[in-house]
Structures are given as structure tokens and as C-alpha cells.
Structure 1
């Protein structure tokens, strides 16, 4: 009799397993948008990033979430993102409407957001062909001062260490999937047919 596949051991491993198709879909759409072909397209990519990270600003400053994840408010890349707009002399969009979710579901949104910083190493490298870097135009894609991997491990340890009820576990998974869907919707809104796959 074939053995059953064991379920992922930790919360973040379970979040990854539950949302990997959504994650892969976002990666595919980002590449289809060719955001690093030129600065004009990169400016459109910044709009996508602004819509997504701006909508999460309230989560990063939420009191309960900062109690659960100490130092969370310092992790938002929204200020750096607005700095990228200023560097490139692009008009700054209005701050998006905030995402309104329960704390457990917010964990999934934050997992998506913080995980994207780990994967941003590739994106950051691509910005160099546009003469952008951590001090000009690509600030929000730059590595955390302590390094991407160390920063991610610290975040994962915090999330995995929380005591959640089964219903809250399910809400966290739903939040991660909703976050990827949210990001896809912004990609399609900004880049149109190029991201309708």
C-alpha cells in the first residue's frame, strides 16, 4: 500500500504548500509583464507594487499583529517604494485603501509580502540593467540590512511560534491565497492583456 505524504510540519511550510500554485502564477505573470525591459515598464511595475504594499500598510502598523510579531512595523517597504517613485520623478499615486482582515488571516497576507522580499533578489538584479540600485530607484527591492535569508528566517520563526486555533490556521492559509490573488489583480489592471494568462 502506498504511503501517504506527510503534511508539512510547520505553519509556514503549510502556508507554502497551500499557496505554491498561486505563488508560481504570480511569478509567471510578472515575467510576462517584462517589468525590466525599460524604465517605462518598470514604472508600471512600481504602480503594482504601490497598490499591493500600500494596501498592507495598516497591517504592518496593527497593534495586535505587532504584539504577535514584534518589530513588524519596521518591515514595511512602502516608504522605500515611495522613495523609488521620487527617484524616478514619477507622480506618487494615492495610498490605496487598506486591506481589512482578521489578525489570523493577516498572517497569510504578511507571509506573502515578506516572502516576496526573499524572492526579490532576482528582481533586484534585473533593475541593475536599468541603472537602478539600493540607493536609487530600486530601494524597495533591496535586501534587508541583515540579509534576505536571515530576515526571512526570523520572520518565519515568529509566525511558526504563534499558538493558533485550527480555525485561525485555516484563516492564515486563506489570507495567503487572497494576497496572491490581490497581487495578480493589480498586475492585470496595470499591464492589461500582457498579464491575462
Structure 2
């Protein structure tokens, strides 16, 4: 929680957001690992369905002009097309058309969702290693887990730098944290559906 930071006033916006959402994030990580999404290609295909559902929700945010003004290059970070191609690679099926469930989000809430999507890309380095064990690669079946050509760490640091300078109030930061929690909970729900 925020109070667990040594000095919340000196923490960066991303550090505060991470602290406010840590419990929800940890709960999701444990649920995903319990589902054993890399135990087989069949289970990985179910994991791709989870990714497909979540990224259908966030893809419109990546295209939003206001978010791209605040976070330059955001549109180029969207992984929705890569996930659809991964589904084709792994299942030989055409991914179904699904509409995102976000509707109109206020800006701080949308930023919370984007934070979750971008953070998942940082964590994808570990998942890519597991996918490779299934015979998949950044060119076949695990495109959405690939790092950025300039490097995963640099890509994340650039995002964090832009995020930390956003003109948000304390109330906005709380809304962003609620948005991030909603995003983590959305993925949790998708995992429950896919691996029930």
C-alpha cells in the first residue's frame, strides 16, 4: 500500500501506482501461475484467449489521440494484432472478433489500464522463455511476448519517464490506481473463464 512506501511524498507516480495496486497484481500473478499456461500448447492457447480479451479492451486506448499526446508513441506499443497472429499460429483458427468492454473511460482511469498493459510487456520476458520451451518463438506463436527492438528495459523506462511527468492531481492518481485494479481484475476474470 501507499503507506508502505518509505516516503510517499518523494515516490514517483509509477512507484505510488505500483504500491496502490500491488495486492491486486500479486493475486493475479498467483492465479495465472496456478493455471499453468505453459504446461502445454493447449493451455498456452487458452492463455492467448485471455490476452485476446484483455487487449481487445485496451487496444482503443492505444489509439486514443489524447493518450498519444500525453504518452508519445503509445499507438506503436499496441500488441493486439500480434496476439491475433499468435492465435492463428498456435491454433490455426481465426481469432473471433470481440469488442472491448471499456466504453468511455476518463483519462486517469484509462492511464491505469495502460499502465497494466505496459507493465505486462515488461514481465513478458519471463513468459517468452516459457513459450520457447513449447517450441514457440517471437516469430511464431509468441509475437506478443517479444521485447521491443530497442530493448525491453529501455522501452519501459521511456514509458515510465513520460508517465511520471503527466499533469495529474492526487485525485487523478487515485483514479488511475482504480483503473489499474479494474484492469488486473478483468484479466483475473478472463483467466477464471479460460481455465475453469
Classify the TM-score, shorter chain.
Answer: over 0.9
Indicate the residue corresponding to 2:63 in structure 1. Answer: 61
Q: Which residue of 1 aligns with 2:97?
A: 94
TM-score normalised by L of structure 1: 0.92
Residues 134-166 of structure 1, C-alpha deviation per residue, up to 9 Å, x if partnerless? 000000011111111100000001110111122
State how many pairs are aligned: 189
- Residue 83 of structure 2 is matched in structure 1 by 81
SS in 2 for 1:27: helix
Gaps (5+ residues) in structure 2? none
Paired residues of 2:17 and 2:173 also in contact (CA < 8 A): no
Residue pair 1:43, 1:90 contacting (<8 A) in 2 also: no
Structure 1 unaligned blocks of 5 or more: 193-197
Identify the residue that residue 195 of structure 1 maps to in structure 2: none
Which ranges of 4 or more aligned residues in structure 1 deviate by more than 2 Å? 95-98
The CA deviation at 1:52 is 0.3
TM-score (ref. length: structure 2): 0.93
CA contact (8 A) 1:77 1:140 kept: yes
The residue number in structure 1 matching 2:183 is: 179
- Counterpart of 2:12 in structure 1 is 10
Q: Is structure 2 residue 134 aligned with structure 1 residue 127? A: no
Indicate the RMSD between aligned Cα atoms, in angstroms.
1.3
